Every structure is written in structure tokens, then in C-alpha cells.
Homo-oligomer: A and B are copies of this chain.
Amino acid sequence: MSESLRIAVVGFGEIARRQHVPAIARTAGAALVAVVDPVTTQAGLPHFRDLQALLREGPEIDAVALCTPPQVRRAQAAIALAARKHVLLEKPPGAAVSEITPLIAAAHKAGRTLFASWHSRYAPAVEPARHLLAGRRITKVTIIWKEDVRVWHPGQAWIFEAGGFGVFDPGINALSILTRILPHPVFVRRAELAVPSNREAPIAAELELSDEGGAPVRAEFDFRQTGPATWEILCETDAGPVALLRGGRQLRDDDRVIVDADKDEYPALYRYFLALTADGKSDVDLAPLQLVADSFMLGRRRFVDAFEE
């Protein structure tokens, strides 16, 4: 094995080009050595149309970062693990919770790392929020996660198709933070999904969650926001309010700002991935995806105005 972890990025769309490429470039011990995409190439890097071609004809690699849509990721992860490559899964880790279990077994068998990444957990205020809340009794949580789908997901028609997650595509980022910062697991009690009359996936959702102690967690996800996005998790605690604002970039303890930083999430994510591969460990936390699946199972649907981009 070479000194650096040789990584191929698979699925060279927006998130790969905007986040993964610069993060790998900034990560000591990581090297981007190939790009796999049916269409898009990167100047100066070997390019392959699919993962099989890379494994057959390409340069040696140690790991793949799967940035393809969730619907095809499981098959690619299975191929990569069978070839004994480490696998980083973009979020959400798959289209179904059940499809990840065999991948965990495959990673174990191959002696390689499977990392179900949740990029929002690496926002700079998330770990400080977790530590702050660890010593508190939380009495209520309110999540407001609203953004303009036309601004943040232009041309992504698949997001409103079945299996495309709809507003849960950003909403799962909030759930990935929530499940990281709360000291106890939460579960879904009630969900209402607002589905455009001409689409299959929800454009807005209201969730009621709870932990075993009964503290209510209420989440509002909405794609119909105009103007600036709102990405906030507000916790009421026995020692005053704790607010995680700006998508995990700002932390307030009552009226005191504890963290306010614009640090990128992906470099920290890659540092952790490298540590996992070095330690021969996997990290597959399916809790955020489970909450989404449960919301779809028990949620009430109501139809709202058709959505045209």
C-alpha cells in the first residue's frame, strides 16, 4: 500500500466536485487518483465510465467515495468491498435501511472500512453542542429546517420521485445532527407529509419525535421557503435554551455565542475516514435513515399544490 490512501470518487456530480475534491486535496494522507462517472471528467485525472472499468483497467486504489444517487450505491459498495476497497458512503447511505446490513457483513469479511458518512455532523458547532447538552436535562427540542428547493436543488427532478426522499434529503441532515447531539435515542411518534399533487415525495413534513423519557422533539421541514434558508435546532433545557443555528455552524448557550464559524464539514469527515481505515474500523449509524423510513411508514399524507420548478 502506498503512503497515501488512494481514493476514487464515484459519481462526479455537484457534491463530489464542490466538496469531496477540495476536501481530499486538503487532507494529509489522502490522494484523489481517479474519477468514475458516465459523463463528467476531471482534467488531469484518469476517468472511468463505471466502477467495474476502474477496477479492471484503472490505477491501484485503496478506497472509493460513493457520491452517486442512493438508489445505485448499494450495488457499487458491494462491488468495491468484494474487491477489498474501503468504502465511504455519501448521505443518505442507501435507499433502504435493510440494504446496509449485508454491506456491514461484507466489510467485516473483507477486513475493510465501511463508513456511512453524515456530513452535517462535522459542522463546527455540532460537537460543542453535544458536550454542552450532555450535562443538561432536555425538556423540548424544535427543529426548523427550511430551504428553497429551487435554489438548493435546481434541476434535481429525482428528488421528488419515489425513493428520492423529497424534503427529507435536507431534513436527514437535521436528523443526523439531532441523533448525534442528544444523549438518548429518539423515535418517531407522528408524521405528516405534504406531497405536491404532481409528485411522489414530500415537499414539506412535520414530525413529532420523542425519547424514552418523553421529551418532545418537533421537526418542521419545508422546501417552499423563499429567501435565506433556516437550519436551526432549538433545545430547551433545565439550564436555559441551547440553540444550534446556521446548520450547525453557530452555537448559543442562552444569549451567549459559544461557536460561530464557517469551517467546511468535509475535511473533518475525511480525516475521520482516514482514521477509520487506519484502525480497520467501520462506522455505520443508520439512526437518521431509520427515522425517515419510520416517518414514511406511519406518516399521514396530504396533497398540496403542484410543484413546478
Contacts and interface: CB of A to CB of B under 8 A. Distances in A.
A299 B185 contact: no
Contacts of A291: 98
Nearest to A71: B298
Interface in A269-301: 287, 290-294, 296-301
Interface in A91-109: 95-99, 101-102, 105-106
A163 interface: yes
Interface in A69-99: 71, 74, 78, 95-99
A162 interface: yes
Contact of A188 (B78, B96, B287): B96
How many copies altogether? 2
A297 B98 contact: no
Contacts of A71: 298
A156 to B, nearest CB: 17
A200 B303 CA distance: 12
Q: Is the interface of A mostly helix, strand, loop or mixed?
A: mixed
Nearest to A164: B298
B162 A298 contact: yes
Nearest to A191: B162
Contacts of A297: 95-96, 163, 292-293, 296-297
A160 to B, nearest CB: 12
Contact of A300 (B96, B200, B299): B200
A298 B163 contact: yes
Nearest to A291: B98
Contacts of A101: 185, 187
A293 B297 CA distance: 5
Contact of A162 (B184, B189, B287, B301): B301
A238 interface: no
A211 interface: yes
A98 B188 contact: yes
A212 interface: yes
Nearest to A78: B212
A149 interface: no
A176 B287 CA distance: 22
12 contacts: A95-B297, A95-B298, A97-B294, A99-B187, A101-B187, A102-B185, A162-B299, A163-B297, A163-B299, A290-B293, A292-B297, A293-B293
Given A96-B188, A102-B184, A106-B212, 20 more contacts: A71-B298, A74-B187, A95-B297, A95-B298, A96-B187, A96-B189, A96-B294, A96-B298, A98-B290, A98-B291, A98-B294, A99-B188, A102-B187, A102-B211, A162-B299, A162-B300, A163-B297, A200-B301, A292-B297, A293-B297
Interface of A: 71, 74, 78, 95-99, 101-102, 105-106, 162-163, 184-189, 200, 211-212, 287, 290-294, 296-301
List the 9 shortest-distance A-B pairs measured between CB atoms, nearest first: A96-B294, A98-B187, A99-B187, A163-B298, A162-B300, A102-B212, A293-B293, A296-B297, A296-B296
